[in-house]
Structure 1
Amino acid sequence: MELTPDFLHTATESYKAEIRAVDFAEDEVREETRKEINQWAAAATNNLISEILPEGSLTDLSRFVLTNAIYFKGAWETRFPKSLTEDHKFHRLDGADPVDIPFMTLPGTSELFVSYNAAMSRYSMCVFLPDEDDGQHAMVSTLAEVGGSLLDHVPRHRSGVRKLLLPKLKLSFFCRLAQVLRGPGLREAFTEEAADLSGIVDKSVCNVRLDEVFHKAVIEVNEEGTVAAACAAVIGRKKKCAMRLEFITDHPFAFYIVEEVSGAVVFAGHVLDPSSSQ
C-alpha cells in the first residue's frame, strides 16, 4: 500500500514524521510491529507510557498506524518545600468519605498562579476550584458554555494568598476513542460505506477506513514540578467491501459471454473437464 505524495510531504516536512512499511498479513510481523510502536512510545515519553497498542489491536486487515506523543517536564518557579508536605483530607465528588492525600504547601507570600521556571516560562498550571465540594460538573459546564480561550477565565493579575495547598498527583488514563469520537459526529470515517481517507491512501490502491483510536495520558505533580506525557495511535483498516476475494475455478463452472449494452447472451457453456476439448 502506497501513501499519497501529498500526505507523505506533509507528514515528513511539516511534522518531521518517520514512515516505515510493514506487512500486516504476517502474525509475527504484526506482533513485532506492535512491540516496536510501544517501544517508540516509551522512548518518546521518557518511559511514562510503556504501551499504547494493546495485544490484539493489529489484525491482518490493518493497513496503517498513525502515532504521536508529547512529553512535558517543568520545574516550579518556586518549589514546594518537601518538609511542609503533609496529609490532608480530600473531599470526593461521589460523596464518599474523604481520603487522606499528601498536600504540598507554599506558605507566606505565595501567589495563586503556579508557574514553571525560566526554562518553561511560557507554561503555567491553571487550577480551577469550584466553591462547593460537589460543584465540579457545574463549573466545567459553565466554562464550556462561556466559551473562548481557557486563559480568558484566568485572572490577569497575580493575587497574593496566605497559603497555597496542592495535592501531590500521579494519574494515568487510557481509553479507546472510536466510540467516543462517533458521539460528537465523527462517524463517516469509521464506516464501510462513507469513509473517505483518500488524502492518505488513494482509493484505487487501497480503500480504507478508521478502525480504532487509542489514547493514553500520564501526569505526575510533586514538590519539584510536573511531568506529563500523552500518546495516541490511530489504526486504519481495509474496508471489507474492498477486500480482494480469491476466485479459483478449480471445479465445474458455467460461463456466459454477454453483450453489455443489450444484456444479450452471445455464448453460454459449462466446463466440466477443462482437460477435454469436448
Structure 2
Amino acid sequence: MKSLSEANTQFALDMFRQFGKSKEDNIFYSPLSITSAFAMLLLGCRENTALQIEKVGVSFDEKPGNVHHQFQKLLTELNKPTDAYELKIANRLYGEKTCKFLQEYLANTKEFYLASAESVDFKNAAEESVKKINSWVETQTNGKIKDLFPNKTLGNTTVLVLVNAVYFKGQWEKKFNKEDTKEGEFWLNKVFKSVQMMSQRKSFNFALLEDVQARVLEIPYKGKDLSMIVLLPNEIDGLQKVLDKGKLIEWTSSQNMSKRDVDLYLPRFKVEKTYDLKDVLMAIGVVDVFSPQDADLSGMTGSWGLAVTKALHKSFVEVTEEGAEASTATGIAVSLTSPPYSIHEEFHCNHPFLFFIKQNKTNSILFFARVSSP
C-alpha cells in the first residue's frame, strides 16, 4: 500500500498549507479520514468532477479503480479489533431523500469503505436531519465530537452532506509518571506561556534532520502498531523551514531512526478544531463537486442535479501522561542522519512542533497536527 500512504501524506501537507496560514493556531485533523471519505464520494463522480478529486487527494500510479481496493484493504486493517488501543474510522453520506441512490453505488460504498449512504428529509425536516447526523457522529467518536453541524447550518436546500469520523484512544508503551510533570515554559516567538510539562528518560527511536535544523522522535503506543512522531525544529520559528523541504514520508519511517536514550519533555495539551472542508478543498482545486451547475455525481443517482453543499471536519485530541485520545469528524535533498553517540539526547518540546499519529504497518498518517499553543 505504498502508493496510498504516499498520496495520503502529500494530501496531509496540502491540507496543512491551507489550515496553517496563521502561525499562532493549533492544527489537528485526520488526512486519512478526509481522503477516504472523498474517495467514497469519487465512486459516484464522473468526468471533470472525478478528475479534480483524483488530482488532489486520491492520486496513484495504478489504474484509477485500484484506489478503492487499496482503501478497502487499509480500512479493514485499521478497523481490526485489538486490546492494545481503540481505533475506529467511519464515513457516511447523507442525501436528500428525493435523490435516489443507485444500488451499484450503495453496494460499492459498503464493500470498499465499510460505509453507507443514508437518505434524510432535508426539505421538510432539516432540523431533525441535523440531529440525526450529529447523533451518529457523537456515537462514532465516543461522545468526543458533539454538534458537528450547529443549528440552522443545513436547510431545505441541502441535498448532500459528507461526514467523516475517527476515534482513537491509546496508551503510551512507556507511560509518563504524573509525579514528574512540572510547570514549564512554552515559547512562541518572544512570548511564553506556562504549561504542564511531562517528562521521562527512556530509549526512543530518534534522528537528526541536519539540513533543516530539526530532530524527530518516535513515541510508540501500547502494542507498537501505532506511534506518535514528533518533529521539533531547533529554532522557535523553524517549522516553516522544515515543511518547505517536504520529506515527511522519509521522516516518519522508523527505519530512518536509531535508538537513543532521550530526556523527553512533552507538554500536556488538548486541541479541538472545526474546519470547513469546502473552502479548503476549493482552494486546492476541488471545485466542481460543490457546484450545482458543474458537479457530475451521476454515478450516485444516474442523473445530474446533485452537489456537495457541506463538508465539515471537527477534531479533538488530548495528550496526557497515560497516552492520547483523539477524534476527528472528518529539489534540495534532506539527509536523515544518525546522531553521534552521546550519553543521552534532550528532546524538549518547549516551542511549536508538529506531530503525526501513524499506523506503522502501512506507514499511514491517521492524524496530523501542529501544536503552537498547548
TM-score (norm 1): 0.74
1:38, 1:184 → 2: CA distance?
28
Secondary structure (helix, strand or coil) at the match of 1:200 reads helix
The residue aligned with 2:234 is 131
Matches within 5 A, 1:182-221: 182-203=282-303, 207-221=305-319
Which structure: greater helix fraction? Answer: 2
**Match in the other structure for 1:246:** none
| Count of residue pairs brought into register by the alignment | 220
Q: Is the 8 A contact 1:217 1:228 kept in 2?
A: yes
Indicate if the aligned counterparts of 2:269 and 2:320 stay in contact, CA closer than 8 A: yes
Does the 8 A contact of 2:281 with 2:287 survive in 1? yes
Q: CA deviation at 1:3?
A: 0.6
Deviation at 1:187, TM superposition (A): 1.2
Report what 1:170 is aligned to.
Answer: 270
| Aligned-partner residue type, residue 193 of structure 2 | V
- Residue 219 of structure 2: aligned partner: 114
Cα distance in structure 1, aligned partners of 2:251 and 2:157:
41
Q: Which of these residues, 72, 83, 102, is aligned with residue 168 of structure 2?
A: 72
Q: Secondary structure at the match of 1:21?
A: strand
* 1: CA distance, partners of 2:117 / 2:309: 19
Structure 2 stretches lacking a partner, 5+ long: 1-98, 205-216, 331-374
| 1:1-278 map, 5 Å | 1-26=99-124, 29-92=125-188, 95-107=189-201, 109-111=202-204, 112-118=217-223, 121-142=224-245, 144=246, 146=247, 148=249, 150-152=251-253, 155-161=256-262, 163-203=263-303, 207-232=305-330
Q: Classify 1:138/1:154 alpha carbon distance in 2 versus 1 (closer, same or farther; 3 Å).
A: farther
Deviation at 1:103, TM superposition (A): 0.8
CA offsets per residue over residues 190-243 of structure 1, 9 Å max, x none? 22332111122221xx511122211111100000001001013xxxxxxxxxxx
Give yes or no for contact 1:113–1:158 (8 Å, CA) kept in 2: no
Q: Is the 8 A contact 2:163 2:313 kept in 1?
A: no
Which residue identity lines up with residue 221 of structure 1 in the other structure?
V
Distance in 1 between the 2:178 and 2:248 partners?
Answer: 38
Shift of 1:41: 0.8
Q: In 1, distance between residues paired with 2:265 and 2:219?
A: 11
Question: CA deviation digits over 1:82-103, x for unaligned, max 9?
Answer: 00001111011xx252011101
Deviation (angstroms), 1:153: 8.2
Kept after mapping to 2: 8 A contact 1:201/1:207: no
Change over 3 Å in CA distance of 1:78–1:148 after alignment to 2: closer
Counterpart-to-counterpart distance in 1, 2:288 and 2:128: 31
The one-letter amino acid paired with 1:230 is T
SS at structure 1 position matched to 2:110? helix
In structure 2, what is the Cα distance between the partners aligned to 1:147 and 1:85? Answer: 30
**Bigger shift: residues 173-182 or 64-73:** 64-73
| Separation of aligned partners in 2, 1:138 and 1:157 | 23
- Tell me which residue corresponds to 1:251: none
Q: Is contact 2:277–2:311 with CA below 8 Å preserved after alignment? A: yes
Partner SS for 1:209: coil
Residue 46 of structure 1 deviates from its aligned partner by 0.9
Output the amino acid matched with 1:222. T
Q: Distance in 2 between matches of 1:36 and 1:129?
A: 41
Q: Distance in 1 between matches of 2:255 and 2:152?
A: 44
Write the distance in 2 (CA, Å) between the matches of 1:149 and 1:211. Answer: 37
Q: Contact 2:164–2:313 at 8 Å: present in 1 too?
A: no
1:88/1:147 CA distance change after superposition, 3 Å:
closer
Q: In structure 1, what is the Cα distance between the partners aligned to 2:114 and 2:179?
A: 44
Higher relative contact order (CA 8 A, sep 6+): 2
Q: Which has the larger radius of gyration?
A: 1
